[in-house]
Chains A and B, each alone.
Chain A
Amino acid sequence: GQNIDQPTEMTATEGAIVQINCTYQTSGFNGLFWYQQHAGEAPTFLSYNVLDGLEEKGRFSSFLSRSKGYSYLLLKELQMKDSASYLCAVSLAGKSTFGDGTTLTVKP
């Protein structure tokens, strides 16, 4: 089975850095996705990690440790528009299993 844990809510200040953690216990693993979902909208792809280490894409970075079953999403220079839910998803055999998401609120 798959068990994916993320904090339910986080709050951060505009311009700051925030780290959203994800831990997983799965029966198999190909890679790990991060998606962003604004309220009332569909999820959109942010990043994908298959090997251990850090992947950087502009203000967003994602880290993976396969041996620890751990990932994080790092958001730098936070903007108000980054207020959203961030979903961690484990990929195996063509399908993805999602966590319940972390709702990030960015305050001025």
Chain B
Amino acid sequence: DTGVSQNPRHKITKRGQNVTFRCDPISEHNRLYWYRQTLGQGPEFLTYFQNEAQLEKSRLLSDRFSAERPKGSFSTLEIQRTEQGDSAMYLCASSLSGSGTYNEQFFGPGTRLTVL
């Protein structure tokens, strides 16, 4: 399967713990995005990378959230000191940007986080 993959698919943690999620994009894609989605809402933009550079981070994102894409391939999203309000589906997407492309995003299956 050459689609976007995410691990783990489900994570249950206690409030105050740190969690880390991984995303492996489609191999030739240079852009990688992280979103958060809660029930009944559309995906909410968190951050995105072009290759290894983090180009934008949502102003809504607290300092407890950090993302990396060290070699321009896979990415990790870490949430420190989790809160119950962090419970959501975390979606990763990748795209190929450049002339002649739509830059449409291909989404992974998501990581569902539950904070108890």
Contact = CB atoms under 8 A, between A and B. Distances in A.
Contacts, number: 52
Contacts of A44: 107
Given A42-B110, A100-B40, A101-B42, A95 B48 contact: yes
Nearest to A97: B45
Contacts of A87: 42-43
Interface residues of B, number: 24
B45 A41 contact: no
B84 interface: no
Interface in B69-101: 91, 97
Q: How large is the interface on A (under 10, 10 to 19, 20 to 34, 35 or more residues)?
A: 20 to 34
A94 B43 contact: no
B42 A45 contact: no
Question: Which 10 A-B residue pairs are closest in the complex by CB-CB distance?
Answer: A98-B42, A42-B107, A45-B104, A48-B102, A100-B42, A98-B43, A43-B107, A101-B42, A100-B41, A99-B42
Interface of B: 31, 33, 35, 40-45, 48, 50, 55-56, 91, 97, 102-110
